[in-house]
Amino acid sequence: MKLTRWIVVKLITGLIMIWVVASAMFALLHDLPGNPAATRYSELVTHGDTPQQARAATAAMYGFVPNQPLIQQYGHYLWQLLHFNLGQSIAEQGIPVSHIVFDAFPWTVILCLSGVLASFLIGVTLGVAAALRRMTKTGDGITWFGAILNGIPTYIIATLLFYVFATEWALFPQGGTVSIQYDPGFNAGYLGSLVTHAILPVIAYTLAGVGAWVLTTKASVISVLGDDFILAAELRGIRAWTVARYIVRNAMLPLFTILAIAFGLMFSGAVFIEDVFNYPGLGQLMINSLSTSDYPVLSGAFLLIIVAVIAANFLADLCYPLIDPRVRRS
């Protein structure tokens, strides 16, 4: 019973966050320097449109009608959002923003998901090893490796990977998602091309995330090492390997919460990696729409990112009681 209430509270908090961001986007689109929506409206009127036509066209583009009372504009905007109507693109006249944004979304998700999971698995393994072997050269080496990787910005990792493996040695294609020589579909050439194009970006994500995982895992494992139940297990003469399993299981718990946050952080990395590897995801979409002043697309992409992050956090919260029985009981 308590669990259901907790879930409902989390759900409502998430919805409120989305509402706040959506309202901020409305304020942004409404108060942009030069007020593009109103400019567009008067442009259409001077081009001979009737006020009704002009109003409808601007409303389709921005999701609200200029020259209406503010509260009505806001209501109209939110109502359209509830129907997944994010307005129309300015740069690509007449194409719905939702269309453009949902086209870009899967590319980002594929890269992010594989990158986050790979960095999580590798980083946690290395972090556990570093903590259990912290008095040895191996442990020092892993910690050093983690700290260095953690100190390198994503775009530098991506740039160096591109330069070394796509230009100097040309092992991988220079950006994009797939070679145009293959027909889209389930054939080996097309899928293989997809994979070879995705390898470098995914490695970039992985390297960008792995350092932080090594360091947090090491700290988490070491904090468990000092717990009484570990000492008790050691004193009872339980095999070192089994004790290590106790340690790791308890040290993993806080890491799952961080995993949810990592999905959010990944979207920041996505902007850089997609930019360097010319990958048509949400990050590149945001860059392009910013340079062409395509504000509806910019705000639509941002809203979708926020919704994805909040959904990931919510799912992580849902899973947490399954992983840690103590949360269920309290």
* Chain contacts with other proteins (rule: CB under 8 A): 13, 17, 20-21, 25, 28, 31-33, 134-135, 140, 147-148, 150-156, 159-160, 162-163, 166-167, 174, 218-219, 222-223, 225-226, 261, 264-268, 271-272, 275-276, 283, 286-287, 290-291, 293, 295, 298-299, 301-302, 305-306, 309-310, 313
CA atoms of 145 and 124, how far apart (whole Å)? 13
Helix axes 295-323, 282-291, angle to 10 degrees: 150
CB of 285 to other proteins, least distance (A): 10
| Closer CB to other proteins, 139 or 321, in the complex | 139
- Asked whether the beta carbons of 89 and 296 are under 8 A apart, the reply is yes
Which of 5, 80, 13, 2 lies closest to 310 in space, CA to CA?
Answer: 13
* Minimal distance, residue 47 CB to other proteins, in Å: 26
Q: How far apart are CB 186 and other proteins at their closest, in Å?
A: 32
Shortest Å distance, C-beta 11 to other proteins: 14
Phi first, then psi: give them for residue 244, nearest 5 degrees. -60, -35
d(CA 132, CA 44): 69
* Minimum CB distance to other proteins smaller for 213 or for 267: 267
Nearer to other proteins, 45 or 113 (CB): 113
Beta bridge partner(s), residue 96: 88
Q: Which is nearer to other proteins, 54 or 115 (CB)?
A: 115
Pick between residue 55 and residue 88 the one whose CB is nearest to other proteins: 88
Which whole-number Å values give the CA distances from 46 to 40, 64, 68, 72, in the listed order?
10, 20, 19, 24
Residue 56: CB minimum distance to other proteins, A: 25
The residue type found at 282 is L
